[in-house]
Amino acid sequence: MTQSKDAAANAMWGGRFASGPDAIMTAINASIGFDQRMYAQDIAGSRAHAAMLAAQGIISDNDAKAIGEGLLTVLSEIEGGKFTFSTALEDIHLNVESRLTEIVGEAGKRLHTGRSRNDQVAVDFRLWVRDQCDAAIAGLTALMKAFLAQAEAGTDWVMPGFTHLQTAQPVTWGHHMLAYVEMFARDRSRFEDARKRMNECPLGAAALAGTSFPIDRHATAKALGFDRPTANSLDSVSDRDFALEFLSASSICAMHLSRFAEELVIWSSAQFRFVRLSDKWTTGSSIMPQKKNPDAAELLRAKLGRILGATVALFTIMKGLALTYSKDMQEDKEQTFDAADTLMLGLAAMTGMVSDMAANRDVLRMAAASGFSTATDLADWLVRRLGLPFRDAHHVTGTLVAIAEKAGIDLPDLTLAQMQAVHAGITAEVFEVLGVDNSVNSRVSYGGTAPLRVAEQVARWKAALG
């Protein structure tokens, strides 16, 4: 760039300001340090805008052609690492426009006709967030497939189900894995819904009131892949709902990632040994040679804080702003950028860990058979076979659990005589429901853990995910 930075800045601002900004004001005002990430979106928006201006007869075809080719040159320079970003030019918009004018001359000065930086940043940011929604959807699909593969492999592997982190009832590994498929499917649908709502184009709203030039907003919306232009110019430049929705969906998704990360930390411990994580996702200790720490899961569990923090920060920024644009809104991007990066890293890491983890099937089965996990099956049997009211059956079962616990054995290890001492109607048939396989096989209600039902859900998701 040949133009001095101060001169370029003053030229962009016009004749209103005679001197350049103070250095501290420049530092607090400039956003080029982070919004340069939107260079591709900014150039795409400008090319669509220039083409529309020419089609409407607002600028000449020659100027539009020069602008379009010049913007491609700028794009090439940025992607090739040959572009010098200037803090004095504040943001990506002025940096691109200044360089464009250096390349194509007077034609470059016509580009900003019929628009403002307010609608320009709104369309750039919306395009960028839309791209992140697409990336999140793809990342979630890959993660769901990883969980689905685990579910298919372990459709009938028995493991303990927990409430309060205490053994509750036997379930299957496949059923547990499918629970996360359902969670992440909801996350994916939230990003899909957010994308649909944000797919309106604010370009052409200008500063806040629209423009007197005969622009064609439908043409620019179509060129940029939007469904339609936004319908209210005031809302167009002041809206950041699209970023808030993206961050909200990201926060819920990160919470789900954190929940499974917590399970991996617990399951891979020496006390549980439910799963093995390879060296790809673990680290050692600097002093304890036996340690194999699930650091990737722990870090992923912690990263929810960054995404949730970004969500709260943007809500806090936006809650006190009267219509329309205020400079506060410049603070919308850094947090959103960081949250998007963190989410994509988390999705990729979790996909890797889920694909790589190996379940200890024998340990899972042994754990499923402990902790009186078939007590509910015993109570259900008393209701079905002996006609006891469930509350009475619950009391009988609780008494038998207490006897077994005192003796240091599990329910299937009680003798028939011990059971009949509590309720005379119990027969030897009861032992058929006390095994963990019998327990999971009996849970045939829709959405239940029976291998038959799990296999049906695996087939459903395989068809849905392709």
Angstrom CA distances, 114 to 53, 220, 226, 243, stand at 8, 12, 19, 25
Active site residue 285: yes
Report which of 115, 95, 112, 107 is spatially closest to residue 66, judged by C-alpha positions. Answer: 107
* CA atoms of 201 and 217, how far apart (whole Å): 8
Got the DSSP string for 173-214? HHHHHHHHHHHHHHHHHHHHHHHHHH-EE-TT-TTTT--SS-
User: What is the pairing mode between strands 200-201 and 275-276?
Assistant: unpaired
Phi and psi at 276, nearest 5°, equal -115, 130
Q: Is the peptide bond before 324 cis (omega within 30 degrees of 0)?
A: yes
Query: Could you give the 3-state DSSP secondary structure of residue 105?
Result: coil
CB proximity list for 79: less than 8 A, separation 6 or greater: none
CA-based torsion, 255, 285, 359, 269: positive or negative: negative
* CA atoms of 169 and 340, how far apart (whole Å): 38
* CA atoms of 232 and 240, how far apart (whole Å): 14
The encoded tokens of residue 288 equal: 């304890």
Do residues 275 and 360 lie in contact, with contact meaning Cβ atoms separated by under 8 Å? yes
* CA atoms of 288 and 254, how far apart (whole Å): 31
Active-site hit among 19, 164, 212, 286: 164
Do residues 385 and 183 lie in contact, with contact meaning Cβ atoms separated by under 8 Å? no
Active site residue 189: no
Active-site hit among 4, 60, 189, 285: 285
Residues designated catalytic: 164, 285
